[in-house]
Amino acid sequence: MGVEVPVHTGAEMLSKKYDMNVIFLKVKKVKRGYYEASFEILSENAQEVPNYEITDKFLKLVEQQIYEAPEYYLWTHRRWKHKR
């Protein structure tokens, strides 16, 4: 979104420590009360991925999901309160 903010990297660090796969869940609203979910693999071998690359991929996918359907993003949350 063009704003630099702090990010929690615990999921990436745990996936590397315990050699776990990292999967992104993308949810799309079809109509009222109906949703479509799909999984996207971010990393099958997290230990071989350079540091913070998984987090960067995750943030890009979240940003893409927000651009596709901004009406479902909770803008009321103060997302940018810790920017530089």
Confidence at residue 71, expressed as pLDDT on a 0 to 100 scale: 82
Nearest to 20 by CA among 54, 58, 52, 56: 54
Pairing of strands 22-31, 34-43: antiparallel
Contact 26, 61 (CB under 8 A): yes
Confidence at residue 78, expressed as pLDDT on a 0 to 100 scale: 61
Confidence at residue 61, expressed as pLDDT on a 0 to 100 scale: 92
Q: With a cut of 50, which residues of the chain have pLDDT below it?
A: none
Confidence at residue 70, expressed as pLDDT on a 0 to 100 scale: 82
Q: Which helix (H) or strand (E) holds 17?
A: helix 10-17
Report d(CA 39, CA 59) in Å as an integer: 15
